[in-house]
């Protein structure tokens, strides 16, 4: 049973290129499967989340993070009686446009594009991937995903204006995205706030006393775990506390979104789209707790001095490869050289680098030097 404001697959606006219905998978299930079978999705296994493989191979990659976002999104979408298949497809595709080396790589690419009047945006890159770069089908380029998945790729975390991005006009930029898409940015934050605390602790860059002092929601959860498991090792009490934090965030997102929908009197998808603001969200109390956790992670983990050499090196690698290819475009693969005949060279180079894994760009740098 779906809520009255959920996206119904039978009401989908369809695909660019019409396809016959599948006998036992609906449109959004097929979209999910198409994403999973792409090269771009597989490459996420070798793209940095926070810690590069140089640090350890025990930590989350962009792929395992994506799987965690998918799991959380399915749970919340199901509890809200939304379209779980659509939410899952959007969760699985949400990071597919990320370049190598996590946010360090993204920042480097964006900085390299700016002097040329261009920019890098991983959401728009994801759209380019599913619309054009993945070549798997004889009948069309790209994956031929449904409108709803393509719209969610564009709008799940950012509101673009039609004036600044006329190329996105078809995606109803004057309207809110469906709730299934609105959830993804929030489940993404739940996933990485809790996972990064976990990886930071495992890396011995964060300590339990440090987290308890700075993150009140974790401290309260840890006290509960201590009371219930007084003889458990610290690591297991840490795990229990983190589980409680994740559950608190997920439960609040479900309950507060329900409350917002009720207070707004929203009953239809059209009313979701025409609402003054996004309707999926945390309560003020939990949103403050989430922000505090995020601020702590930026100060104590993401900007930790131990990680700075890796970030600087990552940005240097991206810069060197970009610069080398810009000066010697003949070194691009044939398919990208062909693209450069019709598109700006800097965009073609950016596309090429964005698709690389951490390993590949490292190897390419050595070959170019």
Model confidence pLDDT, tens digit, residues 121-158: 999 999 999 999 998 898 899 999 999 999 999 999 88
Please give the mean pLDDT across all residues of the chain.
Answer: 94
- Residue 17 inside a domain? The answer is no
- Residue 40 three-state SS: helix
Q: Are residues 249 and 261 in the same domain?
A: yes
CATH code where residue 58 lies: 1.10.3210.10
**Quick one: 191 and 337 in the same domain?**
no
Q: Is 61 helix (H, G, I), strand (E, B) or coil?
A: strand
Beta bridge partners of 122: none
Residue 53 pLDDT > 80, yes or no? no
More confident residue, 57 or 347: 347
Q: How far is CA 30 from CA 22, 40, 267, in A?
A: 8, 17, 28
Q: Residues 249, 100: one domain?
A: yes
Q: Give buried/exposed letters for 319-329 (b at 16+ CB in 10 A, else e).
A: eebbebbeeee
What pLDDT sits at residue 52? 65
Residue 42 has pLDDT above 80, yes or no: yes
Range(s) of the domain holding residue 324: 310-368
DSSP 181-211: HHHHHHHHHHHHHHHHHHHHHHTTSS-HHHH
**pLDDT exceeds 70 at position 171:** yes
* Residues comprising the chain, all counted: 369
Q: How many CA atoms lie within 13 A of 132 on its CB side?
A: 13
Residue 56, pLDDT score:
60
pLDDT at 48: 85
pLDDT recorded at residue 294: 95
275 and 331 share one domain: no
Phi, psi of 80 (to 5 degrees): -90, 5
The Cα–Cα gap between 143 and 244 comes to 38
Predicted model pTM: 0.95
Strand partners, 61: 48
Question: Is the CB of residue 358 less than 8 Å from the CB of residue 53?
Answer: yes
């Amino acid at each position: 049973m779906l809520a009255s404001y959920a996206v119904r697959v039978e009401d989908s606006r369809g695909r660019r290129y019409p396809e016959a219905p599948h006998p036992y998978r609906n449109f959004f299930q097929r979209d999910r499967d198409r994403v999973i079978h792409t090269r771009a999705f597989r490459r996420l296994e070798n793209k940095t989340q926070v810690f590069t493989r140089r640090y350890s191979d025990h930590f989350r990659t962009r792929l395992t993070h994506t799987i965690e976002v998918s799991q959380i999104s399915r749970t919340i979408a199901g509890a809200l009686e939304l379209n779980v298949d659509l939410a899952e497809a959007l969760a699985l595709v949400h990071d597919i446009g990320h370049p190598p080396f996590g946010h360090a790589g993204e920042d480097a690419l964006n900085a390299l594009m700016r002097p040329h009047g261009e920019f890098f945006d991983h959401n728009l890159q994801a759209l380019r991937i599913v619309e054009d770069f993945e070549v798997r089908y004889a009948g069309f380029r790209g994956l031929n995903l449904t409108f709803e998945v393509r719209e969610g790729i564009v709008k799940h975390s950012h509101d673009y204006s039609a004036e600044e991005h006329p190329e996105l006009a078809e995606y109803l930029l004057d309207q809110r995205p469906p709730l299934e898409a609105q959830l993804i940015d929030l489940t993404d934050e739940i996933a990485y706030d809790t996972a990064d605390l976990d990886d930071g602790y495992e890396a011995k860059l964060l300590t339990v006393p440090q987290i308890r002092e700075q993150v009140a929601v974790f401290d309260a959860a840890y006290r509960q775990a201590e009371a219930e498991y007084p003889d458990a090792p610290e690591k297991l009490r840490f795990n229990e506390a983190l589980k409680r934090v994740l559950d608190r965030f997920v439960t609040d997102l479900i309950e507060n979104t329900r409350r917002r929908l009720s207070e707004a009197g929203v009953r239809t998808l059209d009313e979701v789209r025409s609402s003054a603001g996004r309707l999926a969200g945390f309560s003020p109390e939990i949103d403050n707790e989430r922000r505090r956790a995020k601020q702590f992670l930026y100060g104590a983990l993401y900007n930790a001095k131990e990680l700075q050499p890796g970030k600087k090196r990552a940005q240097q690698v991206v810069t060197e490869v970009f610069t080398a290819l810009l000066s010697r475009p003949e070194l691009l693969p044939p398919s990208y050289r062909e693209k450069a005949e019709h598109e700006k060279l800097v965009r073609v180079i950016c596309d090429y680098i964005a698709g690389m894994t951490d390993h590949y760009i490292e190897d390419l740098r050595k070959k170019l030097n």
